Structures are given as C-alpha cells and as structure tokens.
C-alpha cells in the first residue's frame, strides 16, 4: 500500500528556519517524482516544487524559486521542504504529493505550518 506520511504541525516565529518531511512507503521511491503543494487558509492549491529522487532533478514553481528548497534522501525514502527564513505569509497547509504522469494519485495527510510572532 502506497503511503506518504508527513511530519507534524509546526509553529515558528518569522525569520526562523524550518524543514518538514514526507516519508514514502509501498513503492519504489526513486521511480516517481514527489512534490509539495501549498494551500493557504481558504485558498486554492499551488504546486511549489517537484523532485525526481532517482537523479535529484528539481523543478520549482515560478513563485517559489529561491523561497524554498526541496530535497530527497533516497536511503530513507523521504522528501523534504525547507525554508531558511520563514515569513508570516508562509502560514499554510503543506501537502506532499506523488504525481504520476502529472496527476496526483497519492497525497500526504498535510503539515500545518503557522508562522507568528
């Protein structure tokens, strides 16, 4: 059974760093892309970044280039999303997602990130 299990909710202050994770199981981690989708409160979904763990090739959405870093550790089948300096506007739910030929057949349960002073 394919599962994407994300790390728990986080509360941080503006300017602090953060790294959230998504552990994959039930499939060959290096054979599929995996990415992160942001959903701000009451808003739509936005693709942030995608990585192909097989060769670490990454693609960032135009609004997210330079704002976040996506990475993956093949040895533990885990993808990460990190910020070097959070802003209040980063407050959102973040989902990891596995696109297969583009459509997402598996999603993580979501990680709520709250940034507040």
Enumerate binding residues for other proteins (CB under 8 A): 35, 44-47, 50, 59, 61-62, 95, 99, 101-105, 107-110
Element (H, E) at 78: strand 78-83
Q: Distance between CA 76 and CA 16 in Å, rounded?
A: 26
Nearer to other proteins, 29 or 95 (CB): 95
Q: How many residues does the chain have?
A: 117
Instruction: Please identify, using beta-carbon distances, which residue of 13 and 37 lies nearer to other proteins.
Output: 37
Closest CA to 60 of 71, 75, 76, 74: 71
What's the CA gap between 78 and 22, in Å, rounded? Answer: 5
* Shortest CB 95 distance to other proteins, Å: 6
- Taking the least distance from each CB to other proteins, the nearer of 41 and 75 is 41
Name the minimum Å distance from CB 109 to other proteins: 6
């Amino acid at each position: 059974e394919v599962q994407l299990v994300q790390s728990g909710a986080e509360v941080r202050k503006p300017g602090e760093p953060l790294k959230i994770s998504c552990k994959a199981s039930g499939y060959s981690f290096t054979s599929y892309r995996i990415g992160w989708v942001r959903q701000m409160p009451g808003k739509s979904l936005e693709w942030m970044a995608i990585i192909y763990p097989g060769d670490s090739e990454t693609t960032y959405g135009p609004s997210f280039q330079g704002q976040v870093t996506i990475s993956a550790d093949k040895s533990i089948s885990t993808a990460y999303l990190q910020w070097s300096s959070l802003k209040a506007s980063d407050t959102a739910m973040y989902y990891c997602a596995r696109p297969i030929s583009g459509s997402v057949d598996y999603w993580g349960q979501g990680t709520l990130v709250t940034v507040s002073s």
